[in-house]
Structure 1
Amino acid sequence: MKSVTHRNNVKVVGIAGAPVIILAHGFGCNQNMWRLMLPELAQRYQIVLFDYVGSGKSLLTEYSQEKYSTLEGYAQDIRDVIEELQFTDVTIIGHSVSCTIASLAAIEIPNIVTKIVMVCPSPCFLNIPPDYQGGFDRSDLEELMALMDRNYIGWANYLSPLIMGGS
């Protein structure tokens, strides 16, 4: 197995020794989504960017259906990054599903992950009528996953209007 920093395309920028912020992207994204915030954050913090295995410039050869069939596999990647870089006090800013992933990571190492900032979290992406509207009907999610398998560009074109509420 490759090093975690290589496997997850880890980049560390900003001020060495400053408070550490890990930026965790959402599903269907990569670390590039943080590019507009990065210059400002890097002036005050040590910033860790990474791609989950299967995203961005991560090592696709390291993908394991068994490991990544649950969010815990992705939480393990965050813990691996923290361990390899030997951080002791970390804030994670998570987007979308990474809010849940960051929470799972923090449960295992609460003395290290001391803060989580959740950007657009959803505790469940599945609508459970009539009590909960998480965003997607089961048939929509199944169609979305099938489309993503067949055609990533088509998937992005399908998902954008659902998220934005328009064409």
Structure 2
Amino acid sequence: MTQTSDSVTWLTQEAYDRLTAELEHLSGPGRTELAAKIEEARQEGDLKENAGYHAAKEEQGKQELRIRQLRQILDSAKVGEAPADTGVVGQGMVVTVAFEGDKDDTMTFLLGSREDAADDMDVYSAASPLGTAIRGKKVGDSASYELPNGRSMNVEIIEVKPYAG
């Protein structure tokens, strides 16, 4: 989870192993199980009104999408240790920001890959508007980023620490 390139997905060894196992299951036994479900539903007759067949085909589409996502993540993955506690915002860091005008209005999140966050922590991509604005900043620094509605939001970095998992 160190940072050198935005095209790399930094993952802990645990996250990499978990995603690899998921990909192996979905692209092996998972595909076989789903193909059997589709064939079983196909045997039930008229495909136009066969809810079981349509549900299985929809599930197959979702599974294939997840397989493509996992391959993309794993193809660009770099396995590493959590970043050093330098106090600088970057991939793999848990960041707390305060919103302009209200120091009590804070948000804490992981800057990195949602695949790496094993708990309920919010995750923002380093390539997101907020992630881009705060990367390289330190505690006490301010940054501005554009909201989806086109307005600008200012934040102050309150805390930066490595993600511990």
Question: Quick check: TM above 0.5?
Answer: no
Superposition TM-score, scaled by structure 1 size:
0.26
Rg larger in 1 or in 2? 2
As a proportion of its length, which structure holds more helix? 1
